[in-house]
Structure formats: structure tokens, C-alpha cells
Amino acid sequence: MWSAWLFAAAHAAQWCSLSPGTPYDSIQEALERGCTDITLAPGAYEGFGLQGTGFRQVVIHGAGVTSVIEGRIALDHQGGGAWTVDLERLSLDPRDDETLRAQGELPETLALSLDRVEVVCSDNKECITIDTASFRAVETSISTRGSPKTLVTANHGHVQLEAGTSLRGGTQNGWLLQTTSSITSVLGTQDRPVTFGASGRGGVLTTGGESTTIAWTRFQDLAGGALSVSDVAQVGVTDTQFCGPSPRVVQVEGGCGEGCVLDRVGVGASAFASPGIALSSDAPLLVHQSTFRDLDLVVAGQNSAIDLQQIVVFGTTSLGGQGALSVSESLVDAAVQVPPGLDLGDQEVHLRELVSATRDSFRQCAEFRYHPEMPENPDWLTAPRVAGLYALAVTDGPDGDGVPYRFDCDDDDPTIHALQPEFRVDGFDDDCDGFIDCYDTQDMPPWTEDADRDGWISYPPPDVCGSGSQWDCDDTDPTINDLVPFYEDVDDDGFGTGTPVYLCPDNSEGLVAVDGDCDDARGDVNPEGVDLPNDGIDQDCSGTELVGVVEGGGCSCEVGGSEGGGLLALGSLVLAYRRRRSGGSSGRSLPGRAQRS
């Protein structure tokens, strides 16, 4: 009775629940009975299909990844009307089949969305295919089991990947997202970027279509090209980082009739594969407020009009560019080669004086950092942001050094930050560039001064990195050079101990030239000390203790009930010991004898 009432109520409201005790055996049955709002309890479910015309809105939501649809989903809308199908908070894992296919008559007549869905694509199968339909994914993870044929493929459709969505894994066609004659939008947010990564070949390939728009996106660990755009009318890439060993990061072929713009883009990695080209284009391209590092070439392409405005380039072999390349209001490191005929003027600088670059070891990315109030910065660098994915805070940390925390690798020490040169040998990375003390050879080059030209380097001043161990003690006289060993003397008795320090005599203040002190905490113990018998102390550092033996049955060391007799007996023993060591005699024998034990 209760089951019948629940079924009738749910059917009237078009709401259905698939759980033990409900009348539906499958999602397919619920759909066929007219359910439009389906709730899945934790468990495994078969795939389903919809085919036909008319108007329909379907929402299927689960209890998270524990609600798993293990079969294929097929949507086929042809003719009049429109469908919207929303999948929320569940998992799609077909095991050995295509995951999802949506086919419509127009993109406006069939709209499919995934919201907080985990998709696992099967080996050697198509994964998600969109034909003449609209596809939207929000906070959705799409990954691979084995090597599927594709990850997401769209033809003549609209594709929109939104905040928190990630596509990862290798595919047989080599691309994580491939669109043809489609409107392609990848729209992350600052807090939740869209991520493409861990592909055996590439990230996004778009061919034809009205537009490709990418914002707040991270491309990482891609063995092939990160973004390839061909014959697309309008291209816009903003607030995006490209990280990892992509040989050609952004490639544009044809199109761009309505403009192609890269704005606030960061390109850099620790292991770029040759040729390591950031931009390859045969179409007009504007690049604005972007950063490039660790590349062979920034620009490559024939007959391309590439306009670089307000960019930063360092750690790179060549600017490149065989077409109409222009550079304005930019900072290009002096070590970067520029094409013949291109005069950078005051745009060519020693960037090490302006920026500090650190690598993100977890993502193989380069992060560009600068201090927004540095006087050398051009006006366009006054905005406190990284040319790439994340904006930078301008607030100082607890050390009060005036340097924002994103430029400060030790916010508890005001002498350590990105604007501080590596000026001392102290075991710390003073300038936050990843190199400590003498390993930072640009800020602290080895000391090589040899004024008298005798082959011995002059003794380095404090906080200077040495280049060898042959220090010259007098760099004005070629006949004087070698160092002398000195020792620490804590008890200040003229004898030292421990590992010798080789110094010039003029630099040995506080040290001594003689070692051999066996107890550097006592000033009366050293090689010239007087060893007193029977006290358990080796005062002369001979390695043995002096023992006094009294002949004739011993001595109570007491005279007349006082302690004076003990002192008299001890003095007699010391006198006898000294006379026997020197071979002398007083003409009469003492009642005792002294000997070494």
C-alpha cells in the first residue's frame, strides 16, 4: 500500500528515487515512466539512453562518487523541441564501453551538463563525444583508465569547461579536448582554475569555429603541444599558465580574422623539450603583460605579425621571430638573443636586478615574482600581480621588511627577501632565488684576486666565497704565500686543540699555533704543566698519571694531629720526583720514592 502511494506521488511530481524499496529497477525504467528528477542512492547503476523529439528536462543526481553509473549513456535528440540533461554529484565509470555520447540537431536543442561528476574513460574506447550539441562541465574530473581513443571530442557544438574542472591522462589521438567547428570556452576562476595535465601528447586542439576562449587555466605536464588553434576566427587566452615539457606551447595556424590575443599569460617550466617554442603563429597575434622563461624561442613562425607588449623574458635562449615582430614597453634579459635589426633599447635589462623567479617543484611551473614598488619597474608593472595565474598580495608579513609575503621566502627575518642580494656566507638563501651562499655564483662569485701573481689567491675577506685552499698570506710579495695551522685555545694557556684552521698569521687573532692541549677547559693542564701525583689528573698531557708510593709501611699524612703533616709529605714526594727526573741528589735518601705507573 505504501509503495503504491509513493510511486503515484513521485510519478505525479515527476520525482523518483532509486533505492531499495522503490518501484524502479533502473534509471532507464524511471525515465520511461516519465521521471524528470531522479535521485540515486549509493550503489551501481546501468547506463541509459534517450531518443526522440519534444521538450524534456531531466536531472539525475547522486550521493557523490558512491553513486556510480557503470554503463554507457546515449542521448539522441532529432526534430522539434529541446532537451536539457543534468548529471550531478555522481560517478561515470563504464568499465569497458564508451562513457557518454550526445547528438542533437542543433547545439541549442540538446544541452548536457556535468556538475561535480567524476568520469573515468575506458581503455581503447571513445569517452565523451558531443555532436551538434552543447556540453558544460563544472568541478568535474575526467581521467583515464588505460588509453582511451579520446577524452572529450566535440563537433559543431558548444563546449564550456568551468571552474574546478580537470582533464588528465593520455589518449590515442593525443589531445585531452578536441573541438571542430565549435565554440570552445574554458573558463576557470582565480580560486578554481581549469586544469589540463598528464597527457602523452597535448592539451587542447581546436579547428575552425567562431571562437576559442581560455581564462584562468593551467596547462601542466603535457608532452605535446599545450594549445593548438587552427582557422579559428577569434582567440582569447587570459590569466593562464603553461607549465611542463611542451615543445610548442601555443600554436596558431591561420584564422584570427577577428583577433587573437594572449593577455596575462605565463610560460615556463623546468624541463622543456626541444625546440621549446612558446608561440608559433602564421596569423596576427597580440601578446600583452605576459612572462616567458626557460625556452629556446619565444616566437617562431613565417610571415607572422606578432606584437609583444609589456612582456618579461628571461632564462631563455632567443626571442626568435622571423616575421614582423615588434616589442614595446617590455623587459628582456640581456642574455636573450634578439633577431637582427630589432633594437630593444632600454627594454634590454639585467632582469636579475628586478625579479626573482622560483620554480614550483610540484607542478614543474615557473612563477614570476617582482616587488611592485621597485623604482626600476615600468609603470605597467605597478599592479601587484604575477604574469600568469595568481594575483599577488601586497601586504607585508610579520618581519616588517616592507616586502609582500609572496616575494619573501622567510617572513620572520627582515634581512631575507627577493630584493636582498646574496651578500653573506650564512647558510641562508638571502635573496630567495633558490641558491644559498657560494652556490649563488651570480651574486657571490668566487674570490680570485692575486695581486702579486704568484699563483696564490689573496686571503678572502669575511663573507666572501673562496675559490680554493691556497691562500696568499702576503699578496704584495710573491715569495710569501703559504698558510699556517692555528688552533682554538679556550682556556687561554697558550696551547690549542681540535681541527686546525689554516690561516695567515695576521688573521689568527684568538687562536694559537701550538696544539697538544689535552684539557682545554683547564689552564693548568697542557704539555708544559706540572703533573702532581695521586690526583687523577694528567697535568702535563703525557698520557700517564704520576703515582707516589711511600716506603716503610705507609704514612697517615697527619703530623701532630694537624693537616700540616699531609702537606709536608706531599711536598717531599714532589721533591723526590723532580730530583730523580733531573738525576740530582741531596746527599741523603728520602723515606719514599716516586715512580710512573
* Per-residue model confidence (pLDDT) at position 84: 96
For residue 63, what pLDDT is reported?
Answer: 92
* Helix (H/G/I), strand (E/B), else coil: 462: coil
497-503 sheet: strands from edge to edge: 497-503, 484-488, 511-512
* pLDDT for residue 206: 95
Q: Residue 363: pLDDT band by 50, 70, 90 thresholds?
A: very low
- Answer with the residue of higher pLDDT: 50 or 446: 50
Burial 560-592 (b: 16+ CB within 10 A, else e): eeeeeeeeebbebbbebbeeeeeeeeeeeeeeb
Q: What is d(CA 565, CA 558) in angstroms, rounded to the nearest whole number?
A: 5
5 or 218, which is more confident? Answer: 218
Output the 3-class SS for 506-546. Answer: HHCCCEECCECCCCCCCCCCCCCCCCCCCCCCCCCCCCCCE
pLDDT band at 502 (very low <50, low <70, confident <90, very high): confident
- Please state whether the predicted TM-score (pTM) of the whole model is above 0.85: no
For residue 141, list its beta bridge partners.
Answer: 118, 166
- What type of residue is 578? R
Terminal CA-CA length for the chain: 109
pLDDT tens readout for residues 123-170? 888 999 999 999 999 999 999 888 888 899 999 999 999 999 999 887
Does the structure show a pLDDT above 50 at 447? yes
- One-character DSSP codes across 225-236: -SEEEES-SEEE
Give the tens place of pLDDT for each residue, 39-72: 999 999 999 999 999 999 999 999 999 999 999 9
In 3D, which of 236, 235, 201, 193 has the Cα closest to residue 218?
193
Cα 285–chain centre separation? 30
Of the ranges 266-280, 308-322, 527-541, which one carries the lowest mean pLDDT score?
266-280
What distances in angstroms separate CA 432 from CA 52, 370, 403, 408, one per listed residue? 63, 11, 12, 7
Per-residue pLDDT band for 401 (boundaries 50, 70, 90) equals low
Task: Say if CB 457 and CB 448 are below 8 A apart.
Answer: yes
Return the pLDDT at 404.
56
Mean pLDDT of all residues belonging to the chain = 75
> Has residue 371 got a pLDDT over 50?
no
Other C-beta atoms lying within 10 Å of the C-beta of residue 343: 8
Percent of the chain with pLDDT over 90: 27
Q: Using only C-alpha atoms, what is the Rg of the chain?
A: 40
Phi and psi, residue 265, nearest 5°: -115, 140
pLDDT of residue 561: 40
Asked if pLDDT for residue 578 goes beyond 90, the answer is no
pLDDT reported for residue 568: 43
Q: Given a cut of 70, is residue 349 above it in pLDDT?
A: no
pLDDT band at 112 (very low <50, low <70, confident <90, very high): very high
Quickly list DSSP for 287-321: EES-EEES-SEEEE-SS-EEEEES-EEES-SEEE-
HSE-CB for 333 with a 13 A CA cutoff: 21
- Which residue reads 714526594 in cell numbers? 573
Average pLDDT of the residues in 219-223: 79
pLDDT of residue 2 exceeding 50: no
Band (pLDDT 50/70/90 cuts) for residue 272 is very low
Mean pLDDT of 489-501: 87
Picking from 17-31, 397-411, 517-531, which range would have the lowest pLDDT averaged per residue?
A: 397-411
Q: Measured between alpha carbons, how far is 498 from 51 in angstroms, rounded to an integer?
A: 89
Neighbouring C-alpha atoms within 13 Å toward the C-beta of 399: 16
Q: How many other C-beta atoms can be found within 10 angstroms of the C-beta atom of residue 301?
A: 23
Residue partners of 283: CB distance under 8 A and separation at least 6: 252, 253, 254, 255, 256, 260, 304
How many whole angstroms from its chain centre is CA 244? 12
